[in-house]
Amino acid sequence: MQINQLTLALRPRNAYEAIDLGFVMARACWKPLYIIWFSLLLPFFALLQIFEIVNAWVVALVIWWLKPLYDRMALFVYSRVVFGETPTVREAWRAVPGFFSTGLISALTYRRFDLARSFTLPVFQLEGLRGQARRARQNILNKNTRPKAVWLAIACVHLESVLMLSLMAFLYLMTPHSAQGQIGMFFFSNNAPLWFGLLTNAIYFIAIGIVEPFYVAAGFALYLNRRTQLEGWDIELAFHGIAESAKSLDKSRAA
């Protein structure tokens, strides 16, 4: 990793400052992020709706279960934006097959309930470590930081739920008063019409699309901050700056 090319201001931060930095990063690059995010996920979501007639809850479960895949798409964008690059949709599509070599299968099975997955994801996706090397790296990174990453996940799950319920409540309040009672019953009925299942899953998809990129960005910022603490990246960058200044001074004297 060429840290001298990073566009972030690196310095040791506490975990909550690092999380805030991640949120700022997500806001700063929202346009390329969401163009890539929805260009990849909207076709997949549309395909899932074909199975809506089987069971709406099954489709919602699949959308939720595949979050580790969505996370890799978001990290693909962030890992380039922090180096001043803006990835294209074509580059993102080409990167998708490579996600399977970043621990995606395990992330969708026995590691699916790891609440610190956005914090540990860069070890799999960016460092490409495996086996004992990965476990050793995670043990070092986890110290004093993993609990904060877990609480980040818990907060984002609650935020996602609140956002979803708020969108549903908004649509409910916008419906004619005469139809509100019937729509309210759909939430507790096993025989809700197809359009209602499509609508609720679309709302859930939107809630994930809004919250999940911020969750990934905050986890990535925690990862960068932890490596800054361990490896003194801020000091290294300061030395790079001194070296560049010295070179410029020598050139000016030679001239």
**Residue-wise pLDDT tens digits, 79-136:** 888 888 888 889 988 988 899 989 899 999 999 999 999 999 999 998 887 888 888 8
Task: Report pLDDT for 46.
Answer: 81
Contacts 24+ apart (CB under 8 A), 212-215: 212/67, 212/70, 212/71, 212/74, 212/156, 212/160, 213/26, 213/30, 213/33, 213/34, 213/37, 213/74, 214/22, 214/23, 214/26, 214/156, 215/71, 215/118, 215/152, 215/153, 215/156
Residue 42: inside a domain, yes or no? yes
Q: Are 82 and 7 in contact (CB under 8 A)?
A: yes
Q: Where are the alpha helices (DSSP H) in the chain?
A: 15-28, 30-48, 56-65, 67-81, 89-95, 104-107, 117-125, 131-142, 146-174, 177-186, 194-231, 233-254
Residue 176: inside a domain, yes or no? yes
Q: Which residues contact 66 (CB under 8 A, 6 or more apart)?
A: 108
Task: Give the separation between CA 23 and CA 244, rounded to whole angstroms.
Answer: 31
- Which domain, by its residues, includes 184? 3-129+140-237
Task: Give the separation between CA 99 and CA 67, rounded to whole angstroms.
Answer: 13
Task: Report pLDDT for 181.
Answer: 66
CB atoms within 10 A of CB 59: 23
Residue 48: inside a domain, yes or no? yes
Cα angle: 57, vertex 73, 22; to 5 degrees: 105
Report the number of distinct structural domains present in the chain.
1
C-alpha pair distances (Å), 225 with each of 89, 93, 131:
28, 29, 24
CB atoms within 10 A of CB 125: 22
Q: Which residue has the tokens 């980040």?
A: 152
Task: Report pLDDT for 43.
Answer: 84
Task: Report pLDDT for 108.
Answer: 94
What distance lies between CA 68 and its chain's CA centroid?
Answer: 9
Residue 243: inside a domain, yes or no? no
Residue 203: inside a domain, yes or no? yes
Which one, of 69, 79, 66, lies nearest residue 102 by Cα? 69
Residue 254: inside a domain, yes or no? no
Residue 134: inside a domain, yes or no? no
Residues of the chain with pLDDT under 50: 3-4, 234-235, 237-250, 253
pTM of the model: 0.85
Task: Report pLDDT for 192.
Answer: 67
Residue 255: inside a domain, yes or no? no
Task: Report pLDDT for 2.
Answer: 54
